[in-house]
Amino acid sequence: MPRRDKLRQEMLNDIKAAARQQMAEGGTAALSLSGIARALEVSQPALYRYYPSREALVTALIVEGYNNLADAMASAERTVPQTNYGSRLLAAMLANRVWALENAVDFQLLFGNPIPGYQGPEDITTPAAQRVFSVVLNILMEALAAGMLKYPEELREMPDNLRVSMSMENDGQPVQLPPEVVYIGLVGWTHTHGMIMLELFNHTRALLPDPGAFYLQEAKILLTRFGLTTN
Amino acid sequence: MPRRDKLRQEMLNDIKAAARQQMAEGGTAALSLSGIARALEVSQPALYRYYPSREALVTALIVEGYNNLADAMASAERTVPQTNYGSRLLAAMLANRVWALENAVDFQLLFGNPIPGYQGPEDITTPAAQRVFSVVLNILMEALAAGMLKYPEELREMPDNLRVSMSMENDGQPVQLPPEVVYIGLVGWTHTHGMIMLELFNHTRALLPDPGAFYLQEAKILLTRFGLTTN
DNA sequence: TGTACATCAGTGAACGCGCGTTCACTGATGTAC
DNA sequence: TGTACATCAGTGAACGCGCGTTCACTGATGTAC
């Protein structure tokens, strides 16, 4: 890579890092190009060499955020023996919480209030978002194929208005997922998401001495509900 | 009430209404005194007759929001016969979702990203927040007293780091709640909160054809987990 | 290896905008006697 | 009922600030021959 291109890559990363730093201090709404320019000691118009607008920078941060979260979950899950589906799911769920707490502003960017005046290009952000969910769905699909996944009774005859539909890319091949698998994924996602959100914004502080232990316990209970064990 | 005082009350309400209107259009971060002044066709400094600062207005909106949510849940719950604890809880849970969807910005104000530069006076906001949770806890306490609440197995011997502690005012008397009851409340709260948050910010749109049906189903399953029935 | 040109990074000045807050002031509404 | 005074609502002007974006320009880095 030519020298100039390398410097450009570094600058792109520096801008994103400064943006995150800024949001970490003043919240997601505090993201401003002028602040970034100040932090990097360049003039404000210089940033337009790298991102055509503030919106474009936000989009880049969001996409990178989804990818980082998905990577964190995937690499946590990969440390567990492949056939131990319950433990793999547990690892992914725990990684989700840890990532959210350690990257609180990124998490807010992805799952918090919509950014004022920002209308993200969905064709770019939604595939990135699906990557996160796919980490979990992949494990569920493997568990299903191995006959280790138990459909709970209430799903035996799933009413039409609950039939979740989703297809997933697997080695480039679009695969239509069984509604039950997506449903199970959603149950887990909604519950863990709620725990994370409430902990992140301090709503459970006065109640829960150890939110991590609570999270762990509920995650395990979730797994047993679908016939999966961990150890 | 003297005429001037009545006008003052109306103005206080008009300001809050305009603030909500403004946030509904541009998100919670779009709340600005100048915008409110414009909408009400008064000069900007005039607002300082009513709220000493922007912060004070935000605090008022938050407190009112918690109270409105608690009222919505409480009045939904009260339409059900008192001894039908499961149905009362279900009504409260459903009211929670409906209120969040119908008052999306208020909900964001209460449970979304912290407001930039705003450090709320916790001695004012936390009692208001507790009122919401108390609606649910009260029903659980009554169900417990009636012997209708089933502690699930995993709570038989609750480890210390899961012992949630909370006391509640009941007719002015502070009552120490059994950890198990708070725990059950938390399980319900975290799960419903996650479903609401993800639906509110459109993260489940591509997956769930009918988020309301999903919510209802999960709420019912939650109740059966603790031995409560609905009908 | 050297030259001529194209590409790119970055600057300083400027535009137009909205924001929260303070201040001295006017005029209307209420209160005490 | 009338008068004198205090309280309150609201105004216009001003302060100081930060923001995103555009523009014409300079100087450095890379490329073609």
User: Which DSSP state fits B149?
Assistant: P
Q: How far is CA A206 from CA A112, A211, A217, B64, B77, in A?
A: 22, 11, 19, 21, 25
Q: CB of residue A45 closer than 7 A to nucleic acid strand D?
A: yes
Q: Do B207 and A165 touch (CB under 8 A)?
A: yes
Least confident of A38-52, A199-213, B107-121, B137-151: B107-121
Mean pLDDT, range A131-156, rounded to an integer:
93
Over 80: is that where the pLDDT of B119 sits?
Answer: no
- Per-residue pLDDT, B121: 81
pLDDT tens readout for residues B72-118: 999 999 999 999 999 999 999 999 999 999 999 999 999 999 887 77
A63-75: b (≥16 Cβ within 10 Å) or e: bbbbeebbebbbe
Q: Is the CB of B117 under 7 A from strand C?
A: no
Is there contact between B45 and strand D, defined as CB under 7 Å from any strand atom?
Answer: yes
Tell me the pLDDT of chain B averaged across its residues: 92
CA distances from B89 to A201, B3, B78, B228 (A): 25, 43, 10, 9
At A5, is the pLDDT very low, low, confident or very high (cuts 50, 70, 90)? confident
Q: How confident is the model at residue A72 (pLDDT cuts 50, 70, 90)?
A: very high
Comparing CA positions, the residue from B66, B55, B65, B64 lying closest to residue B31 is B55
What are B170's strand-pairing partners? B173
Q: What is the C-alpha separation between A59 and A120, in angstroms, rounded?
A: 6
Q: Which nucleotide is nearest to B47 (CA to C1')?
A: D10
* Residue A20 CB lies within 7 Å of the nucleic strand D: no
CB contact under 8 Å between A214 and B166, yes or no, is no
Rounded to two decimals, what is the model's pTM? 0.95
Q: Which of A163, A208, A218 lies nearest to residue B164, judging by beta carbons?
A: A208
Q: Which residue is nearest to nucleotide D22 (CA to C1')?
A: A45
B21 touches strand C (CB under 7 A): no
**Residue at shortest CA–C1' distance from C10:** A46
Q: What is the mean pLDDT of residues A147-169?
A: 82
Question: Count of A–B CB contacts within 8 Å?
Answer: 130
Query: In degrees, to the nearest 5, what angle opens at C-alpha A90 toward C-alphas A87 and A91?
Result: 85
DSSP string, A79-142: TS-TT-HHHHHHHHHHHHHHHHHHTHHHHHHHHSSPPTT----HHHHHHHHHHHHHHHHHHHHH
How long is the CA A30 to C1' C14 vector, in angstroms?
Answer: 25
**A-chain residues within 8 Å CB-CB of B28?**
113
Q: Residue A75: pLDDT above 90?
A: yes
| pLDDT top residue among A115 and A99 | A99
Min Cα distance B6 → chain A (Å) is 35
Nearest CA-CA distance, residue B177 and chain A, Å: 11
Q: What percent of chain A has pLDDT over 70?
A: 98
pLDDT for B3-28, tens place per residue? 788 999 999 999 999 999 999 988 89
Higher pLDDT, B18 or B164: B18
List CB contacts (< 8 A) between A214 and chain B: 162, 186
Contacts of A107 (CB under 8 A, 6+ apart): A65, A69, A99, A100, A196, A200
- Of the residues A110, A133, A155, A190, the best mutation for testing chain B's interface (the one with the most B CB atoms within 10 Å of its CB) is A190
Would the CB atoms of B116 and A198 count as touching at under 8 Å? no
Minimum distance, in Å, between the CA of residue B193 and any CA atom of chain A? 5
Q: Are A57 and A51 in contact (CB under 8 A)?
A: yes
Q: What is the DSSP letter of A52?
A: S
Query: Which pLDDT band holds residue A162 (cuts at 50, 70, 90)?
Result: confident
Q: Supply the pLDDT for residue A168.
A: 78
Q: Determine the residue of chain A that is closest to B26 in CA distance.
A: A116
Q: Which nucleotides of C are covered by protein (CB under 7 A)?
A: 8-14, 18-24, 29-31
The per-residue pLDDT for A1 is 60
Q: Which of A91-100, A172-181, A218-227 has the lowest mean pLDDT?
A: A172-181
Residue B1 confidence (pLDDT) above 70? no
Asked if the Cβ of residue B33 lies within 7 A of any atom of strand C, the reply is yes
Nucleotide nearest to A34 (CA to C1'): D19
- Interatomic CA–C1' length for residue B32 and nucleotide D11, angstroms: 20
Query: What pLDDT shows up at residue B42?
Result: 97
Of A111, A194, A206, nearest to B190 by CB-CB distance is A194
Cβ-Cβ contacts under 8 Å for B56 (sequence gap 6 or more): none
Taking the C1' atom of D13, which residue's CA lies nearest?
Answer: B45
Q: How many Å is the maximal CA-CA distance in chain B? A: 62
Q: Which of A96, A97, A113 to mutate to test the interface with B (most CBs of B within 10 A)?
A: A113
A118 CA → C8 C1’, Å = 29
